[in-house]
Structure 1
């Protein structure tokens, strides 16, 4: 096992800069997830680690080696792509062992490594099949097996579950988590799906427009976000945001009927605008209030209620108990002041 270090990593395409001074320390055996919206630079950053994209400035170390200028084949990494990229005329066994065959490894060694990867991924019964006879999830396992066979120092995953349906995504997420637990290798995983990030990662880096917004353990980011972007990106459904105003050492939210929020954080001067954040599960519904139940999403054991409040403000409320409320009803809501997150209206940094 070995770790990965990025020091002031920069990527430019001509005059266009897409990665800005990224510094990351990924420890031996850590499952590290790059997450962010489309276009944030997460796949570019992964490809820089892999050697598939040139690093314009800064350094990348894998273990103690400076690999910044090394070719991809010399870095000791294996990459699993969104596309399975399997050879259709080869069997599962041949696909998994092809890389070792091309580098001249003995047949006995290839067979042994393929057998071990097949055992880990539960592919024994499929070794003689060709890719067209496999499901999407099985093909992705073969692609992962091809990476395992190479015995890399670091595994790189670039949105490997994007082509799978919802049920298979859950199954493969469990498979990848189990794989990491069994082989204990350093893994870097790219996804735009924060649920994947939260469930798989030892640590998450949240990226926006090529910059690191925050790095930490999943629940650290959820419970203690540094800014509005991280607070809104981590968590499903997303955190609610409404505008508030500082008055007399409290935050007054006119969209909530002038509700006053008492807080211990350092507030700006009276009259300053702040952003109030509330998680959907921290809001309680009641009948006959100033808001309107616009839409109710029933998902079985949980429902997501979409409210329209004063001034057109919108809230999503998570409810887990059956009630008689219907769409179009007037509803009230409440929350504990301690559950509120506050952010600067200009910088969007967390007020602490």
Structure 2
């Protein structure tokens, strides 16, 4: 298997530039996830690697080969799409082996490769069925199996779980993670779901408006984001953000009607900043304070408490244990200075 390297990769549609000079190295055997909001360019970038979109400028290499102008069939990649794209009149085995058949691969070799893929994906009991007799999760496994039998150097996944219900999404995440461990191939996976990104990736590439905001391991991005966008996108529920002003070595936060400390080197007196605190890092005290509990989402082992602040900004707190706030309660909140992240109010860059 091989890695993928992008150097100053640019994509334009006429005068409109949608991918802006991407530099990225994906190591051999790495599971890399492109994540970001709709329209950020993640699927376009994946299709450029696949050869389904032309690269306007820059280069793309798979292993030691420059494939920037190569046809998709010459790149050594296999792509799994959001739609399963299975032939309804063919059995599972026929669907999985169809690409090899079209390339003139001997029948015995096709059967062996289909058998191996079926064994990996636990599809042995379904090989004679047709797609209409399969669940959504089974159909997606067949689509993945079709990619496996081709023996690609790189697997590309374009939001493969978007059409599945919540339970099947979890099941297929486990299947794909297990598949990566078993075959050890380089995989590039596109999703807008940061939970999928966090649970699957060795490396996450956070994209916004065709540019890379940050690259790193899941927990690295969670614990040490470079800017407000990454901090807010990684983590569920999202990080809370409150505006404040530097005053006397602290940050005056109108939403809380008090000052907040942070273990960072603060900018000059009077500078406007944004503080960020994750829901799980907030301590809630009931029966005191000036914040009103508007909603409590009780999910069993955890509750998410939605608070109205004095300035109209919203805060979500994570609560555990037996004693939890209820809707309508007056509460106060606290957090350790080391848990407070600070961002420049203008550039939204992290202040460390």
Name the TM tier (shorter chain): over 0.9
Give the superposition deviation at 1:248: 1.8
Q: Which moved more, 1:295-304 or 1:157-166?
A: 295-304
Deviations 1:304-331 (A, max 9, x none): 0000111112100001123263211111
For 1:44 and 1:260, locate their aligned partners in 2 and report how far apart those are by CA, in whole Å.
42
Q: Is the 8 A contact 2:262 2:340 kept in 1?
A: no
**Partner residue of 1:276?**
275
Deviations 1:74-98 (A, max 9, x none): 0000000000000000000000000
SS at 2:145 equivalent = helix
For 2:53 and 2:265, locate their aligned partners in 1 and report how far apart those are by CA, in whole Å.
44
Q: Which moved more, 1:249-258 or 1:291-300?
A: 249-258
**Partner residue of 2:27?**
27
Change in Cα spacing, 1:119 to 1:262, as seen in structure 2 (3 Å) is closer
Q: Which moved more, 1:193-202 or 1:266-275?
A: 266-275
Counterparts in 2 of 1:65-104, with a 5 A limit? 65-104=65-104
**Partner residue of 2:151?**
151
Give the superposition deviation at 1:266: 2.5
For 2:50 and 2:336, locate their aligned partners in 1 and report how far apart those are by CA, in whole Å.
47
For 1:260 and 1:33, locate their aligned partners in 2 and report how far apart those are by CA, in whole Å.
35
For 1:252 and 1:235, locate their aligned partners in 2 and report how far apart those are by CA, in whole Å.
25
**Partner residue of 1:286?**
285
Q: Is the 8 A contact 2:262 2:342 kept in 1?
A: no
Q: Is the 8 A contact 1:275 1:343 kept in 2?
A: yes
SS at 2:351 equivalent = coil
**Partner residue of 1:247?**
247
Give the superposition deviation at 1:333: 1.1
**Partner residue of 1:180?**
180
Q: TM-score w.r.t. structure 2 length?
A: 0.99
Give the superposition deviation at 1:256: 1.1
For 1:229 and 1:262, locate their aligned partners in 2 and report how far apart those are by CA, in whole Å.
20
Give the superposition deviation at 1:262: 4.2
**Partner residue of 2:58?**
58
For 1:36 and 1:274, locate their aligned partners in 2 and report how far apart those are by CA, in whole Å.
24
Deviations 1:48-100 (A, max 9, x none): 00000000000000000000000101000000000000000000000000000
Deviations 1:205-234 (A, max 9, x none): 000000000000000000000000000000
Structure 2: gaps (5+ residues): none
Q: Is the 8 A contact 1:36 1:42 kept in 2?
A: yes
Q: Which moved more, 1:302-311 or 1:129-138?
A: 302-311
**Partner residue of 1:13?**
13
Structure 1: gaps (5+ residues): none
For 1:117 and 1:181, locate their aligned partners in 2 and report how far apart those are by CA, in whole Å.
14
For 2:267 and 2:334, locate their aligned partners in 1 and report how far apart those are by CA, in whole Å.
25
Q: TM-score w.r.t. structure 1 length?
A: 0.99
SS at 1:332 equivalent = strand
Q: Which moved more, 1:304-313 or 1:66-75?
A: 304-313
Q: Is the 8 A contact 2:250 2:259 kept in 1?
A: no
Structural RMSD (CA): 0.8
Q: Is the 8 A contact 1:252 1:261 kept in 2?
A: no
Change in Cα spacing, 1:220 to 1:112, as seen in structure 2 (3 Å) is same
For 1:313 and 1:82, locate their aligned partners in 2 and report how far apart those are by CA, in whole Å.
37
For 1:258 and 1:177, locate their aligned partners in 2 and report how far apart those are by CA, in whole Å.
46
For 2:58 and 2:172, locate their aligned partners in 1 and report how far apart those are by CA, in whole Å.
35
Q: Is the 8 A contact 1:302 1:319 kept in 2?
A: yes
For 2:137 and 2:155, locate their aligned partners in 1 and report how far apart those are by CA, in whole Å.
18
Is 1:196 the counterpart of 2:196 in the alignment?
yes
**Partner residue of 1:267?**
266
Is 1:344 the counterpart of 2:344 in the alignment?
yes
For 1:262 and 1:122, locate their aligned partners in 2 and report how far apart those are by CA, in whole Å.
51
Kindly report structure 1 stretches of 4+ aligned residues shifted beyond 4 Å: none
For 2:339 and 2:300, locate their aligned partners in 1 and report how far apart those are by CA, in whole Å.
26
Q: Is the 8 A contact 2:246 2:272 kept in 1?
A: yes
SS at 2:213 equivalent = strand
Give the superposition deviation at 1:290: 0.7
**Partner residue of 1:234?**
234
Tell me how many residue pairs correspond in the alignment: 351
